[in-house]
Amino acid sequence: MTDFFRIFTDPNVQWILLGCMLLGLSSGVIGSFAYLRKQSLMGDALAHAALPGVCLAFLITGSKSIAAFMIGAAVAGVLATVSIGVMTRYSRIKQDSAIAAVLSVFFGFGIMLLTEIQHSGAGNQSGLDKFLFGQAAAMVLSDVYAMIVISVVLIGMCTLFFKEFKLLSFDPGFARGLGLPVKWLDQLMMLLIVAAVVVGIQAVGVVLMAALLITPAVTARYWTEKLGVMVVLSGVFGAVSGFLGTVLSALGANLPTGPLTVLCATVLFGVSVLAAPRRGIVPKLLIRASARRRLLDGKRMREGKERAI
């Protein structure tokens, strides 16, 4: 028990804890709209597309600069978003097929660059593979400041454009009829997802970042029918996952924070599937058992009345 409280006095753990909680919070908020728009794969595509951006940033700068990596990942994410939009707008390719194609091409290109860098003669190329699964322990205070700024921007933009994103998620045709700039709003939402992915690749990695975008949103959907409540719950579930993942990582020996955060989010999802009111498996079984019991009681009462007559 003393170890549990001792970890909160460590400045490094405090930075990682704050960063992972902010990452989970902002990812859960923007991921809610991606989930409702049935674009769960979009976060996965953008996360995988960030890898070649990181590798190219290293090749250009020759150093492992987090700022350069974020810029490279952001440029690659925007390029992937534009590629998906062009493929779906000017061809007969469906969006899911376009996302799968862009995901495969960008990630394959990233793996090729990563392999080339690892076999090159550069003396500081080691550690780039950590961006595949994340390395939250390498975060410093400047990284946390960047997460704070991006999280505030993400949450602020989602709050400011909540009504527009709501219309875009449920009825884009009606939003277009009202005169809203649907294409610009769609690109804005994609840019916000890119920002969430870029800020999260160091902590969670490109492979697992999509899970942190979608899992809290799916979990929140089990608990409410209202979009506003769902967005708030999704952010809370994401922040709780970041908190639990960091604490478990600090208590364990050499346990990675990113995968633990995703596992905690999955556990919360499993609890919601089982116990969430109305939508959970257990409440549904109890409701059915209660209805069956009332039906049998009514049947016995009718049979009793018939015998009495």
pLDDT of residue 223: 92
> What pLDDT is stored for residue 239 in this prediction?
92
E strand or H helix that includes residue 85: helix 66-89
269: pLDDT strictly greater than 90: yes
Q: How far apart (Å, rounded) are the C-alpha atoms in residues 24 and 265?
A: 9
* Spacing of C-alpha 307 from chain mean position: 62
Torsions phi, psi of 6, nearest 5?
-70, -35
122, pLDDT greater than 60: no
- The predicted model gives 53-76 an average pLDDT of 79
Predicted TM-score (pTM) of this structure? 0.83
Mean pLDDT (whole number) for 65-69: 72
Give the model's confidence band at 309: pLDDT under 50 very low, under 70 low, under 90 confident, else very high. low
User: Is residue 101 over pLDDT 80?
Assistant: yes
Please compute the mean of the pLDDT values over residues 13-25 and round it to a whole number.
84
Which pLDDT score is estimated for 308?
65
pLDDT of residue 272: 93
Yes or no: is domain 2-276 CATH 3.40.720.10? no
pLDDT: which is higher, 147 or 161: 161
Q: Does the structure show a pLDDT above 90 at 246?
A: no
**306 pLDDT higher than 70:** no
Closest by CA position to 276, among listed 236, 207, 225: 225
For 147-160, what is each residue's pLDDT tens digit?
888 888 889 999 99
Q: What is the pLDDT of residues 270-304, one digit of tens each?
A: 999 998 888 888 888 888 888 888 888 777 777 77
Lowest mean pLDDT across 113-122, 194-203, 215-224, 280-289:
113-122
- Higher-confidence residue: 236 or 123? 236
> Tokens for 14?
């405090």
d(CA 119, CA 133): 20
Q: Which residue has the higher pLDDT, 235 or 99?
A: 235
pLDDT tens for each residue of 206-242: 777 888 888 999 999 999 889 889 999 999 999 999 8
Q: Which pair of tokens denotes residue 207?
A: 């492979």
Q: Which two tokens stand for residue 234?
A: 């999704």
Mean pLDDT of 72-85: 84
Calpha distance 48→82 (Å, rounded): 15
> Of all residues in the chain, what percent carry a pLDDT higher than 90?
14
Residue 179 has pLDDT above 80, yes or no: yes
